[in-house]
Chain A
Amino acid sequence: MGNTPRNLFDKVWEAHRVRELPSGQTQLFIGTHLVHEVTSPQAFAMLRERDLPVRFPNRTFATVDHIIPTDSQVRPLSDELAEAMMTELERNCRDHDIHLFDVASGHQGIVHVIGPEQGITLPGSTIACGDSHTSTHGAFGAIAFGIGTSQVRDVLATQCLAMARLKVRRIETTGKLNPGVYAKDVTLAIIRQLGVNGGVGYAYEYAGPVIDAMSLEERMTVCNMSIEGGARCGYVNPDETTYDYLRGRPYAPQGDAFERAVDWWRSMASEPGAHYDDVVEIDGSAVAPTVTWGINPGQNLGVDEKIPTLHETPDDERASVAEALDYMDLRAGQPILGIPIDVAFIGSCTNGRISDLREAARVARHGQVQPGVRALVVPGSQEVARQAEAEGLDEVFRAHGFQWREPGCSMCLAMNPDKLQGREVCASSSNRNFKGRQGSPSGRTLLMSPAMVAAAAIHGKVVDVREIL
């Protein structure tokens, strides 16, 4: 290694490399393990079967987010299956001495919202969670990725994973975002450019002036959707924005330790001249407010563009485009502007943070939710909810026809009662427009920024938020 400049991924990998395994993979130490109710019960059951303890309970944190209702969170939950999952998580955390951020704690929320806000997510660390949007935590300069339940078991039992090293692709942004264009639009534009499986085998390093200028919350939105581009993790090098965000957070180092931590975090950032397996550029100035029209997040358009025709679609994508047009009941060549919506959803680990709610409220002030449109605002955590309420955002939303709900994953994946019905079309600030994703097997999703969702809610159709702001 010597003085060869290295990127953050390589440094973090080396610092967490326990040993090389007989399989040729690396045994990688996982600094922080985040746990939620849906992907963990079977893992805990496997530990019990094998009579294994949790190796580092103090490096393991749990919360409840996927199944929690957003209307009433009073126990027992009215959905018996949800209550059973909740009870199981409580039992597992109690038995293994794992800290649980439950509803009563006042710090419950979506796992990828509370890790950062508690200061649990730190630069230079490795983080795993049984959830693909764990890539969110990369915004701090952590290497964070989603795992399956058997790997949750591995991390509980050993605090390690068996992994092959990823390649690193630097995504170099240039230019500057125009007003009305958000981190969500940037991440959708990247996925459109590189494809939904373009990132397989890679970690994405997001860099350049557009990323540098973003707040930590905006960087989380970008890193969150790395997985939608096929990349298991995505990160941003830590900088002053990162340190400012972390200072004073409950689980972050305090006092002198914080200053020592900053020195170490700084030392983990990619160095000039570091090697990358690939480098791509994206021009931030060219990004428009973006909306998905199809059934994967790569099928997206600038709001002033038209849905592609099969004629202009490359051969190997025609079948997908035809399938998407059919499912979405849209016409090739149709403008995305003006598509009517039935539901508006603001929330999720992608866009359920305070800055998202502020932007959505700023737009909501310009009108009333259209009659016939159901509009939900679901804060990402209890802390986000409290902050929003302190700023009066809940009142703004209510006064303009939006429902103000309790925190959780809600209609992003509809494991709670918040679901689309039938063929409803939802303008959604979440991350996936897959068939059936929002709870109705035939429901339709248009992904966009929270500001664009709010604009769609008050117009009852897809509009260009730049004309409102």
Chain B
Amino acid sequence: MTATRASVESVSGRACVLRGDDIDTDRIIPARFMKVVTFDSVGEHLFEDDRLAAKGNHALDDDRYEGASILVVDKNFGCGSSREHAPQSLMRFGFNGFIGESFAEIFAGNCTALGLVCATLGEDDLENLMGSVDLDPEQEVRIDVEARTVTSRVGTVACQIPDGTRRQLLEGSWDATGMLLDGAEDVTKTAEALPYVSGF
């Protein structure tokens, strides 16, 4: 009935460092590029205005980071609008994993729904990782979902991934539709017991 999805046990690849707190989803994908009925084109406009304003000095335009699949960010990344166009544009650009000090809640939920991994690190570990990737962008960075660790040239450090999210990723149930459809009978019972659904 519903497509079975692959388990996401880890994400690894080269990383790109994008500094700055509170990078909102309007910056990730400006609203004018959401005038579409599919997600097909959103990857082309990732950080479009920030990149234009930076005149070639944006991390995404830095040749050293080309081909990166992990984006390393600061605090409260993805705040603002609930637009899934934000993780969709990041995914279509090539990012499958995000490491940061913290993520906005809706953004993180949207990532999980696409099988993308958001891992948080403490301030010091994050700064060390950023410094290391900055010095050696060729290195492989790995987020291990099962072990909840981030490995880079700095070594292996513990990261946080919420329990439920971790299990969804590992079990391949991050596309929640199938899991939720399985509870159909219980849904009917819950709905019928709610006075406002049954009309008081």
A151 touches B190 (CB 8 A): no
Residue of B nearest to A432 (CB): B80
Q: Say yes or no: is B158 at the interface (Cβ < 8 Å to chain A).
A: no
Query: Inside 8 A of A396's CB, which chain B residues have their CB?
Result: none
B79 touches A56 (CB 8 A): no
Residue of B nearest to A294 (CB): B22
Q: Say yes or no: is B184 at the interface (Cβ < 8 Å to chain A).
A: yes
- Taken together as a complex, chains A and B put the C-alpha atoms of A432 and B176 apart, in Å, by 30
Could you write out 16 A-B pairs with CB less than 8 Å apart?
A: A18-B190, A24-B164, A29-B190, A66-B31, A81-B36, A84-B37, A124-B196, A146-B82, A148-B82, A148-B106, A149-B85, A154-B180, A197-B79, A253-B200, A264-B200, A414-B32
The residue in B38, B181, B191 that gathers the most chain A C-beta atoms within 10 A of its C-beta is B191
Shortest Cβ-Cβ A-B pairs, 9 listed? A148-B84, A148-B110, A150-B113, A146-B82, A441-B49, A41-B37, A197-B76, A158-B180, A132-B82
Q: Say yes or no: is B155 at the interface (Cβ < 8 Å to chain A).
A: no
Per-residue interface assignment for chain A, residues 189 to 204, with 1 indicating a CB less than 8 Å from any chain B CB and 0 otherwise: 0000000110011000
Least distance between A242 CB and chain B CB atoms (Å) = 14
Q: Say yes or no: is A27 at the interface (Cβ < 8 Å to chain B).
A: yes
B113 touches A230 (CB 8 A): no
- Which residues of B approach A to under 8 Å, CB–CB? 1-3, 19-22, 24, 26-27, 30-32, 34-39, 49-50, 52-53, 75-76, 79-85, 87, 102, 104-106, 109-110, 113-114, 162-165, 167-168, 171, 173, 175-177, 179-181, 183-184, 186-187, 190-191, 193-197, 199-200
In the complex where A31-B194, A132-B82, A151-B109 touch, is A413 in contact with B31 (Cβ < 8 A)?
Answer: yes
Query: Inside 8 A of A130's CB, which chain B residues have their CB?
Result: 82, 84
B177 touches A164 (CB 8 A): no
A154 touches B183 (CB 8 A): no
B113 touches A18 (CB 8 A): no
Q: Say yes or no: is A125 at the interface (Cβ < 8 Å to chain B).
A: yes
In the complex where A17-B190, A24-B167, A434-B26 touch, is A41 in contact with B104 (Cβ < 8 A)?
Answer: no
Q: Which of B82, B175, B180, B196 contacts A160 (CB 8 A)?
A: B180
Q: Which of B38, B81, B113 contacts A45 (CB 8 A)?
A: B38
Least distance between A150 CB and chain B CB atoms (Å) = 4
Q: Say yes or no: is A260 at the interface (Cβ < 8 Å to chain B).
A: yes
In the complex where A27-B183, A414-B31 touch, is A323 in contact with B113 (Cβ < 8 A)?
Answer: no
Query: Inside 8 A of A310's CB, which chain B residues have their CB?
Result: none
B35 touches A150 (CB 8 A): no
Least distance between B153 CB and chain A CB atoms (Å) = 25
Query: Inside 8 A of A227's CB, which chain B residues have their CB?
Result: 80, 106
Q: Which bracket fits the contact residues of A?
A: 35 or more
Per-residue interface assignment for chain A, residues 61 to 82, with 1 indicating a CB less than 8 Å from any chain B CB and 0 otherwise: 0000011000000000001011
- Taken together as a complex, chains A and B put the C-alpha atoms of A32 and B53 apart, in Å, by 41
Query: Inside 8 A of B24's CB, which chain A residues have their CB?
Result: 296, 432, 434-435
A23 touches B171 (CB 8 A): yes
B1 touches A50 (CB 8 A): yes
- Taken together as a complex, chains A and B put the C-alpha atoms of A253 and B39 apart, in Å, by 39
Q: Which of A52, A132, A442 contacts B80 (CB 8 A)?
A: A132
A21 touches B179 (CB 8 A): yes
A157 touches B177 (CB 8 A): yes
Residue of B nearest to A162 (CB): B176
Query: Inside 8 A of B20's CB, which chain A residues have their CB?
Result: 319-320, 323
Query: Inside 8 A of B102's CB, which chain A residues have their CB?
Result: 197, 200
In the complex where A27-B180, A147-B106, A154-B177 touch, is A436 in contact with B30 (Cβ < 8 A)?
Answer: yes
Give the residues from 1 to 27 in chain A that come closer than 8 angstroms, CB to CB, to chain B: 15-19, 21-25, 27
A125 touches B196 (CB 8 A): yes
Q: Say yes or no: is A122 at the interface (Cβ < 8 Å to chain B).
A: yes
Query: Inside 8 A of B21's CB, which chain A residues have their CB?
Result: 317, 319-320
The residue in A67, A132, A415, A432 that gathers the most chain B C-beta atoms within 10 A of its C-beta is A132
B194 touches A122 (CB 8 A): no
A413 touches B187 (CB 8 A): no
B167 touches A22 (CB 8 A): yes
- Taken together as a complex, chains A and B put the C-alpha atoms of A56 and B180 apart, in Å, by 14
Query: Inside 8 A of A230's CB, which chain B residues have their CB?
Result: 76, 79, 104-105
B38 touches A158 (CB 8 A): no
Least distance between A469 CB and chain B CB atoms (Å) = 32
Q: Say yes or no: is A98 at the interface (Cβ < 8 Å to chain B).
A: no
Per-residue interface assignment for chain A, residues 426 to 445, with 1 indicating a CB less than 8 Å from any chain B CB and 0 otherwise: 00000010111101011000
